[in-house]
Structure 1
Amino acid sequence: MDETGNLVAADFAAQLKQAFANLRAALAAVGATPEEVVKITVLSVDHDAEKQQLISATRNQVWSGDRKPTSTLIPVPRLAVEGLLFEIDAVAAIPNS
């Protein structure tokens, strides 16, 4: 969904891109960066090899190198909101300043 709560598109790649943009915005809102994410959980509707390649490529753009968060992928038949095809949940360890 976009920042106003509207569904981006009925396209997996577009929703994937938006979800990662939303994740970056949520992290920035609390003063965190993707490097501080220690775990992600991904929900993928009607998951297949093509979707896996898209998820991996996008994840590798956000987290390159040796320090990647642990990752769990859960294929699901549908999500809570009609039309959603992808969801990501992240846990960040933000050091005290």
Structure 2
Amino acid sequence: MQWMVWTPVTAWFFVFIGVMLCCMTVWEVVSPTVARKGFLPIVTTRGDRLFIGLLGSGYICLAWLGLTDLPLWYGVGIAAAWLVTVMRWG
């Protein structure tokens, strides 16, 4: 039987996602969200924007890997900027 190899970077990625979800839960309990419309063409809540931002960030990283030979860290920077933009103004 083969096991999935967890590198430290992979483990920290999933820890980061879990911490973000826990923080969003606490934030929701302390200050309930109000649905609003930003630059996205739909009305969204904080959780919606987090999901859209994470999904978009994943696609940005995959496109970066598939379309360029540059280091992935540049793509991660663009993906992080996308996530922050969606969370703030989405």
Question: TM class by shorter-chain length?
Answer: 0.3 to 0.5
More helix by share: 2
More strand by share: 1
TM-score (norm 2): 0.32
* Structure possessing the higher relative contact order (Cα contacts under 8 Å, 6 or more residues apart): 1
TM-score (norm 1): 0.31
